[in-house]
Amino acid sequence: MIYRFLKRRLSHRISLLRSRKIYREGLLSTNPCGNLRPIKGKTEEREAFTDVEVELLKAGCKNIKDQAVLSFFLTTGCRVSEVVGINKKDIDFQNRCVKVCGKGDKERYVYFTPVTAMYLKSYLETRDDDLDALFVSKFKRRMTKSGFEAKLREIGDQVGVKNVFPHRFRHTFATNMIHNGMPIQEVAILMGHSRIDTTQVYAHTSQDRVKI
C-alpha cells in the first residue's frame, strides 16, 4: 500500500518536472527533465473467485453469521457500503429481495437465493439485540466496512484463499451472471451501473471458466 502510494507520488513529481512551466520564463532554453519517463503503476486485473475458491470459502465459515455474510455478498453483488446500510426491515423474504441505496443515492432492488434466505433467517434468530442493522458486530454495533473486510479476510485465511475482500465478491457475481447467460444490460441494472462498459470491467470470463 505504502509502496504504491510512493510510486504515484514520484510519478506526479516527474510529471511536474517534465512540464513546460520549469523553463517557460526563459531561464532555460530546453527542459532538462523532458526525457524523463513517468513511472507506471502495476495494473491489477480484477479476478473473480474460482468455483473451487468459493467452495473453500463456504467451508471456512465457522458459524451461521459467517455463512450469512458470505452468501449475501456472493448472491447479491452488493457494494460493501450498501450492505452496511441495510436494516432488518429492508429484507423481503417472501420475494427474496432488498432495496439498497447505491452511489448517488440511487435506489435499486437486489435479489438473493433461497439458501441465502435460509442463512439470513437462521442468523437473525440467533440475535438477542434490538438493533435495526441487518448485520451486527460482536460488540453489538452495526457492522462497518472495515468489519466486513476483516470478517471476509478471516474466512479466507481459514482455508488459504488469498485476496478475499468485499469487492471481489461483486466481481464474482457479475462474472457468474454473464457466464450463466444473463444479458449484460440486466447485470448492469442489478449492480447499479448506469453505463454498460462499467459492468464489462467486472464481467471478465477467464479461459479456465469455460473449460468443461
Query: Taking Cα atoms as reference points, which of 86, 75, 155, 158 lies closest to residue 113?
Result: 75
Element (H, E) at 108: strand 107-111
Catalytic, 109? Answer: no
- Residue 41, C-alpha cell as written in the block: 503503476
Report the Cα 80 to chain-centroid distance in Å: 6
Q: What is the mean pLDDT of each run of 10 residues along the chain (212 residues)?
A: 54 56 54 56 66 97 98 96 96 96 89 98 97 96 97 97 96 91 91 84 53 46
Choice among 65, 79, 151, 168 that is catalytic:
79
What confidence score (pLDDT) does residue 153 get? 97
What confidence score (pLDDT) does residue 96 get? 97
Rounded Cα–Cα distance for residues 170 and 149 (Å): 13
Catalytic, 204? Answer: no
Q: Decide: 142 and 136 in contact? Cβ < 8 Å.
A: yes
Choice among 21, 103, 106, 141 that is catalytic:
103
Mapping DSSP onto H, E and C, the string for 139-202 reads CCCECCHHHHHHHHHHHHHHHCCCCCCHHHHHHHHHHHHHHCCCCHHHHHHHHCCCCHHHHHHH
3-state secondary structure of 136: strand
Catalytic, 12? Answer: no
In the block, residue with C-alpha cell 474466512:
155
What confidence score (pLDDT) does residue 38 get? 53
What confidence score (pLDDT) does residue 36 get? 56
Choice among 65, 168, 170, 171 that is catalytic:
170
> Radius of gyration over alpha carbons of the chain, in Å?
22
What confidence score (pLDDT) does residue 179 get? 87
Rounded Cα–Cα distance for residues 75 and 49 (Å): 13
What confidence score (pLDDT) does residue 64 get? 98
Catalytic, 171? Answer: no
What confidence score (pLDDT) does residue 17 get? 54
